[in-house]
Amino acid sequence: MAYAIASGLVEKNFPCRLFHFDRDSAKYVRFESIGSSSCWKLEELLEACDTVFFAVKPQNFDELLAQMNGFPTGEKLFVSIAAGISTGYLAASLGRGAKIVRAMPNTPLLVSMGATALCANEQVTPQELCYVQQIFSQLGVCEIIEEELMNAIIAVNGSSPAVVYLFVKAFVDGAKEQGIDEQLAFRLFCQSVLGSVEMLQSTGKSPEELIRMVTSPGGTTLAILDSLEQSHFSEAIADSMRACTRRAQEIGK
Ligand SMILES: NC(=O)C1=CN([C@@H]2O[C@H](COP(=O)(O)OP(=O)(O)OC[C@H]3O[C@@H](n4cnc5c(N)ncnc54)[C@H](O)[C@@H]3O)[C@@H](O)[C@H]2O)C=CC1
Ligand SMILES: O=C(O)[C@@H]1CCC=N1
Listed in sequence order, the residues at least 6 apart from 128 whose beta carbon sits closer than 8 Å to its beta carbon are 77, 99, 101, 120
Model ipTM?
A: 0.98
Dihedral angle computed from the Cα positions of residues 241, 246, 247 and 251, in that order, rounded to the nearest 10 degrees? 150
| Total Cβ atoms within 10 A of residue 117 | 24
pLDDT in tens, 229-238: 999 999 999 9
Q: At residue 226, does pLDDT exceed 80?
A: yes
- Which atom belonging to ligand 2 lies closest to the Cα atom of 247? 3
pLDDT in tens, 120-179: 999 999 999 999 999 999 999 999 999 999 999 999 999 999 999 999 999 999 999 999
CA-CA distance, 130 to 135, in Å (whole number)? 9
Mean pLDDT of the chain: 96
Is 163 a known ligand-binding residue?
A: no
CB 193 within 8 A of CB 168: yes
The span from the first CA to the last CA of the chain, in angstroms, equals 20
DSSP codes joined into one string, 167-234: HHHHHHHHHHHTT--HHHHHHHHHHHHHHHHHHHHHH---HHHHHHHH--TTSHHHHHHHHHHHTTHH
Nearest alpha-carbon partner for 76 in 56, 51, 93: 51
| Cα 158 to ligand 2 centre (Å) | 6
Cβ of residue 160 lying under 6 Å from some atom of ligand 2: no
Nearest residue (CA) to ligand 2, atom 5: 83
Check pocket membership of 154 for ligand 2, CB cut-off 6 A.
yes
* Residue 243 pLDDT level (bands cut at 50, 70, 90): very high
Tell me the CA–centroid distance for residue 180 and ligand 2, in Å.
33
Q: Which domains does the chain have, with CATH numbers?
A: 2-146 (3.40.50.720), 160-251 (1.10.3730.10)
63 close to ligand 1 (CB < 6 Angstrom): yes
Whether 184 shows a pLDDT value over 90: the answer reads: yes
Considering only CA atoms, give the Rg of the chain: 21
**158 pocket-lining for ligand 2 (C-beta < 6 Å):** yes
Measured distance CA(107)–CA(161) in Å, rounded: 8
How many Å lie between the centroid of ligand 1 and the Cα of residue 31?
Answer: 14
**Among the bound ligands, the one closest to the CA of 109:** 1
Please give the share of the chain, as a percent, with pLDDT higher than 70.
100
- Going by C-alpha positions, the residue among 38, 89, 92, 83 that lies closest to residue 58 is 83
Lowest mean pLDDT among 72-81, 112-121, 186-195: 72-81
CA of 242 to the centre of ligand 2 (A): 14
Distances (CA, A) of 58 to 17, 72, 89: 26, 22, 11
